[in-house]
Structure 1
Amino acid sequence: MDSAPLPEHNRAHHQDELLVCCLRCPILSLLTELSISGIALEPRVLRHLASCSIRSLSLEDLHEMPCAVFDVNANSLHFPVLRDVLIATGFVDLCIALFDSIARSTCALTHVDIDIKRETCTLAAFERVAEVLGTLPSIKQLDVRVVFGDHLVQFVPPSAISPFFALHALEHFALDGLFQVLLDDTTVIDMACAWPRIQLLDVYPEYEHRLYDPDSTDWGQWCPPAVTVPGLLPFALRCPRLQHLRIALGDIIGDTLPYSGPNAPFTFADLVDRPAHGLAELTVGGNPRLGPAAALEVAVQLSAMFPHLVDIYVDDPESVVQNHHEEWSSVDELCEARWAGVLPLHRVLAQVRLQERRGRIPRM
């Protein structure tokens, strides 16, 4: 006679028993990479994992524990050799509990990839994820993807990502998901000061512009980005290793181009006698409008900040600027091209700056 199927929680318990038995095998205990999916991790399994020589741990599609109980004490798991962690789960509380249980004294994590797959995350939960990750200062690469509930664009204030500013070793930081980060020039200063080693910075979630429809009433009110072009100056002064930057900019019209502010800590004069910044790629999100007479000034400011900039991408299929080779009959015509004219102007200015650094006079 066939036996009745095991209840879900008993099935998960037996899976954990099997996993522990495997990990206790003398040979398997030497594993350096481990991927686990489709089970409910019990605290004793995590304790055993902490004692293994695992350097790379992948946890995907984990089941929530019975009664949502996760009784590992905070800072009680020692992973002295663990470097890479990937978590893809629909249970944000499990993600929070796991990182909160890692002992800070022995943590040496360098790469963390988090994907909250179900639309169950709230802003408060996102802030809690940021808080626990902000206590692990060894992290060098951090990718966070979150989909909030209700299929609505969630507005994430600067305070929600401020715990990440404690990760001073960060070299790669990318946010992805259906939300908008409400950045401004002040937050850019905080980022630049917090992440002096940053090489790739992506704070413009991919789905923000791909799914947002300004003509739809289902998306609620849209908050225009507030970062200005001169607001990128702190990156040029404080982040010398930055190679790729993806950020939303506000409309470039009126008085947004002067670097204004009663107590502005940085000025373009600070660029004097500094090594030329090596930023190679800039992606401008937010689909900012560019004033008719602003192309030249934008190109001048970008050239001053990032003279090695090669590619500029704009979040607008009609305005994507990359390797532009069209012929322009005059500077006035080039300026009228707006965003499509910024990069060629920038390249001309960059060439002049290069010749000046080499002590040569351009041929007329």
Structure 2
Amino acid sequence: MQRCLQVPELVNLFCSHLYEAKSPHSRRSPNVGSCAGLGDLAVLAVTAKIFSRHALALMWNSVTFEILLRCLPTDCYESFMMHSVIYSSGHDKEERTSEVIDMIRPLDESDFERIRIYAPFIRNLWCGDEKSKFLPSTLPWFHDNPLPNLRGLYWMHGESDFHHIQFFLSPRITTLHIGHPSLAALTFLLALPRRFPQLAYLALFTELDGVPSLEISAVPTVSACLRGLHAIESLTLATDTLDAPALEHLARLRIPSLRHLDVSGVPADLKPLGGEKAYFASLRALHFTSDIQSACRFLEWCPQKLALAKFSAEISEAATAQEAQHMLSVAVGGIVDSSLRDFSLHNANTTGLDSTVHLISSSSLRTLFAFTNMTSVVIESAFGIDVDDATVTDMARTWPRIERLELRSYRGTPNPRATLQCLEVLAKECPRLTHLGIALDASSVPKLRLGVRGKGSSTSTSTSLRHLDVGDSPISRPTSVAKWMKHVFPRLVGIKTLTDDLELKKGQSEAGEGLVDGTVRYGRHWKKVLSILCESRN
């Protein structure tokens, strides 16, 4: 063992495994690790010198500006808890508790001693506008002692404080995340390609509280910036600021070329691309947050199929069943059949919908059977997804490697046709399935087949399924269902129902009250099923 610990690569691998096992990932902020993961690394760092540098490098790899502030002497600041109440949509109330830090004396050079020790380890820094008041007192130190190895900067400041970004810019930066659209940010973007030609990861305007008129005027600036970047591998645009020239530039990039694209819209004035070249040659992940037409327009615009591994779309307005069918057909026509592993379509939860128009049919879902290597399929409908046992059976046999299959609805599926019987098929055909979401009619409970060796088959069992989302699935005999489920999914630890997300409000119509009452009753029955399953394992 001692000889192994003399190999730096092995020590680093050990520390990395410990860190990754306990560290969450956030799209909007760097991976700052969980308390448990960082605590274990801290213990490792002081256990032996041989671990210290590797553990510290991981502990300080990604930090927030607040973490840097806490490296100052404790007599520099004071902290206290602040309680606040936030109202959304005029009805929902959320109580929050956050820690607030205030500086209580001026800072001098000696106060930054600890930061100076850890600064070389920092690769990613997240700085939000809630810490703006600390910038004037700390920036002189960062001006003279920059973070020398900073690779990723996540800057969430608005107009008044954006210019402070200059103190943190390292020539080695390859990842840049700018949260708020502002005039200062647009001015900065104009010089971005010249200052950071090696930039590989760029995310713009993810904090959606900017001025709409400013976002519109940002299109030419964003376009000029993108057309000047030739090493970009990942791009996220949370506002509709992508124009045709910029998109055409991205399509023609060669190695290294774009691998991940996340956009909020596709321009309508796209010109046809020539068919003689391979466009978006390295694109593997594509995400839309837009109307459904933009997603379709992009796939139809590309002259050849894309070798995507992941496709996802968050639709801003609830798509009709016909629009959803068109989206699925376009996906089949625009994505290489054998490459796609992960497909998700999320509809908006729009009010006043008609189930006859928005109910997604099983025939539409069968369109996806062209993709035979799926590991995750998630489809959210505003008003139900209609599947039967035959469709679920075909899904199970078409996607034997599936790990996540979620067919969800915000309002539930009226009169679901699938039954408990289809769950046994999934247990038999899909041994890797861990998450399942489906509306089914659990009124009738299949008989358990406890076969004897050589005298017929027994009911199939899957030990992989952990989470089941049943929406507002009808159920009348929870004890019988629990007995059956105990055999089919013995390691199930969670059952989610529509009532988990449904906010019950007063003043509903009589018809609405009847629906909600049924939903609540079904929810209680399913929770009883889960309770019985958990008790049986104790």
TM-score range, shorter chain: 0.5 to 0.7
Partners of 1:84 and 1:161 in 2: CA distance: 21
Partners of 2:381 and 2:527 in 1: CA distance: 28
1:233-279 deviation digits (Å, cap 9, x = unpaired): 111011110001111122x33xx2237xxxxxxxxx6557x774311
What is aligned with 2:322? 124
What is aligned with 2:508? none
What is aligned with 2:494? 311
What is the correspondence of 1:39-54 to structure 2 with a 5 Å cutoff? Answer: 39=241, 41-42=243-244, 45-52=246-253, 53-54=257-258
What is aligned with 2:504? none
> Counterpart of 1:248 in 2: which secondary structure?
coil
1:155-178 deviation digits (Å, cap 9, x = unpaired): 111111211122222112212241
Partners of 2:342 and 2:351 in 1: CA distance: 29
Partners of 1:281 and 1:149 in 2: CA distance: 27
What is aligned with 2:58? none
Within the candidate set 75, 84, 87, 2:285 is matched to 84
8 Å CA contact retained: 2:275, 2:304: no
Q: What do you get for the CA RMSD once the two structures are aligned?
A: 3.5
Instruction: Verify: 1:343 aligned to 2:526, yes or no.
Output: no
Q: Residues 45 and 231 of structure 1: is their aligned pair in 2 closer, same or farther, counting only changes over 3 Å?
A: same
Q: Residues 16 and 85 of structure 1: is their aligned pair in 2 closer, same or farther, counting only changes over 3 Å?
A: same
Within the candidate set 461, 464, 467, 1:281 is matched to 467
1:79-112 deviation digits (Å, cap 9, x = unpaired): 221111111122x33311212344656x331122
> Counterpart of 1:201 in 2: which secondary structure?
strand
What is aligned with 2:451? none
Partners of 1:186 and 1:74 in 2: CA distance: 40
> Counterpart of 2:326 in 1: which secondary structure?
helix
Q: Which of the pair has the greater relative contact order for Cα pairs under 8 Å at 6+ separation?
A: 1
Partners of 1:310 and 1:166 in 2: CA distance: 32
Within the candidate set 408, 412, 419, 1:228 is matched to 419
8 Å CA contact retained: 1:116, 1:147: yes
Partners of 2:536 and 2:261 in 1: CA distance: 48
Partners of 2:295 and 2:226 in 1: CA distance: 21
Q: Residues 65 and 348 of structure 1: is their aligned pair in 2 closer, same or farther, counting only changes over 3 Å?
A: closer
Instruction: Verify: 1:194 aligned to 2:398, yes or no.
Output: yes
- Give the counterpart letter for 1:89 in structure 2: S
| Higher-helix-fraction structure | 2
> Counterpart of 2:316 in 1: which secondary structure?
strand
What is aligned with 1:215? none
What is aligned with 2:483? 300
TM-score (norm 1): 0.67
Between the aligned residues of both structures, percent identity stands at 23
Q: Residues 312 and 13 of structure 1: is their aligned pair in 2 closer, same or farther, counting only changes over 3 Å?
A: closer
8 Å CA contact retained: 1:57, 1:84: yes
Using the TM superposition, give the Cα deviation of residue 344 of structure 1 relative to its aligned residue in structure 2, in angstroms. Answer: 4.0
Partners of 1:305 and 1:94 in 2: CA distance: 42
1:20-78 deviation digits (Å, cap 9, x = unpaired): 6413xxxxx11111123423532x54343123211111111x36425xx6634789752
8 Å CA contact retained: 2:266, 2:297: no
What is the correspondence of 1:222-261 to structure 2 with a 5 Å cutoff? Answer: 223-250=414-441, 252-253=442-443, 256-258=444-446
Using the TM superposition, give the Cα deviation of residue 312 of structure 1 relative to its aligned residue in structure 2, in angstroms. Answer: 2.2
Partners of 2:218 and 2:293 in 1: CA distance: 18
Within the candidate set 297, 312, 325, 1:113 is matched to 312
Using the TM superposition, give the Cα deviation of residue 314 of structure 1 relative to its aligned residue in structure 2, in angstroms. Answer: 3.1
Instruction: Verify: 1:38 aligned to 2:226, yes or no.
Output: no
What is aligned with 2:297? 97
Instruction: Verify: 1:22 aligned to 2:213, yes or no.
Output: no
Q: Residues 350 and 104 of structure 1: is their aligned pair in 2 closer, same or farther, counting only changes over 3 Å?
A: farther
Partners of 1:49 and 1:81 in 2: CA distance: 11
Partners of 1:338 and 1:18 in 2: CA distance: 58
Partners of 2:276 and 2:483 in 1: CA distance: 50
Within the candidate set 404, 411, 426, 1:208 is matched to 411
8 Å CA contact retained: 1:271, 1:305: no
Instruction: Verify: 1:185 aligned to 2:376, yes or no.
Output: no
Within the candidate set 374, 396, 406, 1:170 is matched to 374
Q: Is the deviation greater in 188-197 or in 74-83?
A: 74-83
Q: Residues 184 and 145 of structure 1: is their aligned pair in 2 closer, same or farther, counting only changes over 3 Å?
A: same
Partners of 2:423 and 2:276 in 1: CA distance: 38
- Structure 2: unaligned runs, 5 residues or longer: 1-215, 448-455, 502-523
- Give the counterpart letter for 2:289 in structure 1: A
Q: Residues 305 and 11 of structure 1: is their aligned pair in 2 closer, same or farther, counting only changes over 3 Å?
A: same
Partners of 1:74 and 1:161 in 2: CA distance: 30
1:205-233 deviation digits (Å, cap 9, x = unpaired): 3x224xxxxxxxxxxxx731111112211
Using the TM superposition, give the Cα deviation of residue 14 of structure 1 relative to its aligned residue in structure 2, in angstroms. Answer: 4.7
- Give the counterpart letter for 2:486 in structure 1: S
> Counterpart of 2:235 in 1: which secondary structure?
strand
Q: Residues 34 and 173 of structure 1: is their aligned pair in 2 closer, same or farther, counting only changes over 3 Å?
A: same
> Counterpart of 1:118 in 2: which secondary structure?
coil
TM-score (norm 2): 0.47
Q: Residues 312 and 145 of structure 1: is their aligned pair in 2 closer, same or farther, counting only changes over 3 Å?
A: closer
Q: Residues 270 and 47 of structure 1: is their aligned pair in 2 closer, same or farther, counting only changes over 3 Å?
A: farther
Partners of 2:301 and 2:275 in 1: CA distance: 4
Within the candidate set 263, 280, 283, 1:59 is matched to 263
Within the candidate set 346, 351, 376, 1:145 is matched to 346
Using the TM superposition, give the Cα deviation of residue 350 of structure 1 relative to its aligned residue in structure 2, in angstroms. Answer: 5.8
- Structure 1: unaligned runs, 5 residues or longer: 1-9, 24-28, 210-221, 260-268, 319-336, 352-364
Q: How many residues align?
A: 285
Within the candidate set 134, 148, 161, 2:332 is matched to 134
